[in-house]
Amino acid sequence: MRTAIITGAGDGIGRATAGRLARDGAHVIAIGRTGATLGALVDEVRREGGVARAVVADVVDPGALRAALEPVERVDVLVANAGVCGRARLDDPDADEVWGEVLDVNLTGAWNTLRAVEHRLAPGARIVLVSSGLGHRGRAGYAAYGASKHGVLGLMRALAPELAPRGITVNAVCPGWVDTRMAAADLERTARERGTTPAVERAVALAAIPTGRFVSPDEVAAAIAFLASVEAASITGHALDLSGGEF
């Protein structure tokens, strides 16, 4: 049985990925900051006949992360998914705080996770980093988020050739709008700033997507599961867009 670590596993893409990899037969180690949500995920996986356990840890705390993962002897799949979507323009009073938090979680958090498991990665292991469509392009107000997700792609592209001699692949997924609570919160904030409603802002977002709908977390999880599979052994250093044609 392969061991799969997923960060940010309590909700959204992370939760869907944990469920999918468990159904595919992996022993899932679900990492997140909230024990209650992780516990609910583990219970769900076990009800479906899968194997999972929760690890409460914050990816921005490398010492705590290493200690929490100390009992893990072997890692076959690592999905670095933990992320936040803070927004601030250059002249906003809280711009520095937003920059620090977003970079700490989205980019340094991925690095901390990789460092914590590097010596436990099995030959032929699979690493999938969760970037974003904004890892390819820019959007006003999303400087910190975009920079962090561009950074995730840079990290992926550096580690792919570095780890290739060990048979380890390193890839990324770049979702566009995904139906998650984080996306809903972003739409609500935009609506407040513009004096509209979340429904109006969702319609604006949908108008830019050729397929006319948001991506589902399960669709992202399916792409991650493929990149984490034995069949994807020849794919490394690749960023896969999942945006309904938006990017």
Catalytic residue check, 145: yes
In a 3-state reduction of DSSP, which class is residue 79?
strand
Contacts of 195 (CB under 8 A, 6+ apart): none
- C-alpha to C-alpha distance for 198 and 190, rounded to whole angstroms: 8
Question: Which runs of E-coded beta strand occur in 98-141?
Answer: 121-130
| Residue of 99, 142, 145, 214 with catalytic role | 145
Whether the CB-CB separation of 177 and 245 falls below 8 Å is answered with no
- C-alpha to C-alpha distance for 115 and 60, rounded to whole angstroms: 12
Reference 83, options 2, 151, 159; nearest CA is: 151
Active-site residue set: 145
